[in-house]
Amino acid sequence: MTLWGGRFSEGPDEALWNFTVSHADRRLLAVDVQGSIAHVAGLVKVGLLTAEEGATLTGGLTEIAGEAAAGSFSWHTSDEDVHTAVERRLGELVGEVAGKLHTGRSRNDQVALDIRLYLKQAADERINGILGLVAALEDQAGEHEDTAVPSYTHLQQAQPISLATHLRAHVAALSRDVERFRDAMKRLDVSPLGAGAGGGSRLPLDPAYTAEVLGFSAFFTNTIDAVSARDQATEYLYVATQTFVDLSRLAEDLVLWATTEFGWATFGDAHTTGSSAMPQKKNPDIAELTRGKAASAIGDLTGLLALQKGLPQSYNRDLQQDKEHLFRVDDDLGRALSALTGMIRGADLHPPEPSSWTRALDLAEVLVERGLPFREAHEVVGRLVSRLVSEGRELGDVTAEELVSEHSLFTEADALHP
Ligand code: ARG
């Protein structure tokens, strides 16, 4: 079924149908019905529907909402999109009055509304997912306040830090992602319902009222922008992608930590996978796929931006493609967050002591505290390091007497040697 047969003398060509119909919007069913129920309330309020018509339509839509929740809604391949499917089903349930549902509305403002309703909910879920991961990282950090590890720069051992500090670096980044999701929600929190096809309607609609019924803080300021703007959805996708990039950095740590060479982490059997060939293998696939899906997210974000570049005002069918980019990344992100949370919770972290070389800056700063300019202190310790390397020794091997003879500002107590 289509919602536009009148001016056509023949039905759609099969190839057109196969190319133009997208099922990606089926997941908008629940929010589409929610939007329609509010639209009906608005039409009743302004007198475009009688109270009785409103009650009939709302009854039918509520039944469809039940079918959506139960997963029993029956899709017809002949329905052009989710909006058509709902109107078709409403007709089956309540008869001819279903034809009044689309009064003062277009699929252009309808789909813009659906995306906003959907992403507002999704943002809540993603925020909860991130907070769950943050809680898992915080729990591990709490267990490892006193576990010393080397910090790294250039993937070379740098300074000794607490493993808790390292874990909380990821917490800090993820906390900003939560903030960013909250911020993106502000731009999503504007109802486009009432903008119609883009030029509004001569009917006395009340977009402020429907916005309020749907829990939006505001309604559109411009009808053309309301149906054509996807920057709020793009912002959501950027935040999801940034989160993925942050997750990919955590994932890379986990992959490294699980190596025999690092030996920092053992992950639970339930959170690792095996090799079909090598019986000894236990692979951190969750982390690897997080890196991999972060790459796809970057591609989808780029795709959504490219979709809008140079697009004429206002609605164009190109915009139908927004959903594929959004849903793919959002779904992946939800799954990555819960898989990584399990992996972190099930991890046994047991990093070896950092090498004594990581104390070189500490030693230089001892001299600085005693008045030596940092540049000189750096030289002194640098020369010591160079000599030790040539002797095949480490910083921790330097004896107290040796250290004192290295520079008069050192005392025997400064030696790292036990
Ligand atoms: N399937 C369309 C989309 O996702 C819905 C809006 C269609 N509007 C139209 N005038 N054909 O963007």
Identify whether the C-beta of residue 196 lies closer than 8 Å to the C-beta of residue 223: yes
CA atoms of 191 and 188, how far apart (whole Å)? 8
pLDDT tens, position by position, 195-218? 999 999 999 999 999 999 999 999
CA atoms of 184 and 191, how far apart (whole Å)? 15
pLDDT at 56: 98
Q: What is the average pLDDT across 58-87?
A: 97
Tokens found for residue 273: 């996978």
Q: What is the average pLDDT across 171-191?
A: 98
Q: Pocket residues for ligand 1 (CB within 6 Å)?
A: 25, 81, 107-108, 111, 317, 319-320
> Of 152, 164, 159, 149, which is closest to residue 395 (Cα–Cα)?
159
Tell whether the model's pLDDT for residue 277 goes beyond 90.
Answer: no
pLDDT at 90: 98
Average pLDDT value over all residues in the chain = 96
Identify whether the C-beta of residue 267 lies closer than 8 Å to the C-beta of residue 254: yes
The active-site residue, picked from 275, 355, 405, 408, is 275
Query: Where are the extended beta strands (E) located within 154-264?
Result: 156-162, 190-191, 218-219
> Ligand 1, residues 230, 311, 320: which to mutate, most atoms within 8 A of Cβ?
320
pLDDT tens, position by position, 113-172? 999 999 999 999 999 999 999 999 999 999 999 999 999 999 999 999 999 999 999 999
CA-to-CA separations, 294 to 102, 248, 298, 417, in angstroms, rounded: 40, 6, 6, 45
pLDDT tens, position by position, 216-234? 999 999 999 999 999 999 9
Q: Decide: residue 271, CB within 10 A, 0-12 exposed, 13-18 middle, 19+ buried.
A: buried
pLDDT at 3: 81
The mean-pLDDT minimum among 269-278, 286-295, 333-342, 379-388 falls in 269-278
CA atoms of 9 and 188, how far apart (whole Å)? 40
Using DSSP, how many helices (H) and how many strands (E) does the chain show? 14, 6
